Structure 1
Amino acid sequence: MVKFGTPLERAGWKFDGDKFQCRLIHEVDNFGRFVLRRHAGHPLSLALEADWLPGQGIDAEFSLQKPGWQPSSPDVAHHYSAHWQQSQARLVGAGEPFLQALELGWNWQVDLGDQLGQQWRVSSANVQGQSAALEMRQCLNQLLPMSYEQVRRLEIRYSSGGVEPAFGAADNIHAAAAYVQADARINKVLVDGHTDSDGDSLSNLVLSRTRADEIAARLVAAGVPAAKIEIRGHGERFPLVSNGSAAGRAKNRRVTIRLVMAGDDQAPSQEAAPDMSSTLPKILNAQESGE
């Protein structure tokens, strides 16, 4: 077995982070590096990276080990298995035990093996790891709840005829507001209200605007500048699915929140195209179209 590790005199941990990402890096001499990382809206992950190993056919076993200077004798506390892919072995959603181990002064270890019987052992060195772990923990506590990809378009649902959003809407509103405040590149927030086809067209138009106005007010209360918000009500126009079933009507009763980033090429949207016929009662629409 070939062993890799960084001598204590050169060992160190590099932290960098903001509201969008937190990252902790430990370089391993002649091998690669450990990277503990979390992006906004995603779980904490741990990766062992190296660009000189083959791209596949290697199994990896991550473990946590107590150092010899602690009161109890060293032993392997936990095992986590992964496969080597694209120059790394990665654990998704299992990073928390490794951060806790770093806070306790423990070490990380990965045992690698391929189908030909070659084996490698890669170990970390917990030199100033506890202070780096503290920085990482502080960063994680202020991370945004969602990434841009997750928050750029959100949908809020409603009961039939209701103006009070369904359970869970507050989390989406908070996530959208937090992202707008954190990223200066967001220059517009589009709030579009929709209904199902129950009732007459004019009432639905008013209801959709009422829903959109209420969500916009909540965004402003959460810190979104009112000048960035555009509000529209579309009534029963632009259904997502057919209104022929209860399930379809439930999907069509919605308010969408869309974040627009400066420089984005925003294609014309059906939601943005006004149509005065939507303000007419259904009976008049039918007459005008010859139905």
Structure 2
Amino acid sequence: MQSGQWPQEEWSVPGAPVSGYVWRAEQPRGEVLISHGVGEYATRYVERYHALIPTLVERGFSVYAYDQRGHGRSGGRRAVVDLNVLVDDHLKAREALRSRPGDDTPLPLFALGHSMGGLVTAASASRGPRGLAGVILSSPALLVGQKESALIKALAPLLALVAPAAPVSDLGTGGLSRLTAEVSAYEADELMYHGKVRALTAATMLGLSQKLWAHYPRWQLPTLILHGTADTITDPAGSQRFFDTIASPDKTLVLQEGGYHELLNDEPREEVREALLAWLLERS
């Protein structure tokens, strides 16, 4: 598959200072809004993640994505982000796709979020599901800070306030994939942020993840959750708990045995991608 076969266009999100992109399917049957994880950027999903974006376009889905603030080609302090602001940006992106002038026959829109982007997507959908046909969460960061002490959790907002850029947590690269080439590509990517998670990012991720559990019982959207059981970067127990909590009559949880954090860059990438595509095709 030639990833350059479908040209990448610029796409702007009104009210959000982010660099956005769109890849258009020739005869679209649906649209997918992708939200990337901490430290990465939107166009990484073209070459990596088992060529996810070109594959979606080939199957008839136009893809929209943007570099979240502080990431990729978007402005802001590098990887110093307030997750609540990122949720607002996601809602603005969804509204821009929902209310396009002259769009009399809107296509079904699916929101796909990976890792930190999974938490952003879940928070956005919880705030308001309007306009979404379904949600896909890939290794989502839904259960954050379970191993941290009560004191650390209590001090996190204070540290974020006085030293938002302080490096607080090293996620490492060993848990990304079992494929050496994928880990090497990650480490060599100069557009990635390779440092420790910053204090503001960590604290707001922790706070947002805790706050959302009270809202999930009202979740009714069709939902696909993908997580590796050997993920050491985000907790697969959060995906299981989310699946058990939401009220959606259409929900699917795929716990990939032995899978690492970036499932689409890991050994079962073909199987995982086909499961994702089959789910979308059945609902569009």
**Normalized per residue, which structure has more helix?**
2
**Normalized per residue, which structure has more strand?**
1
Larger Rg: 1
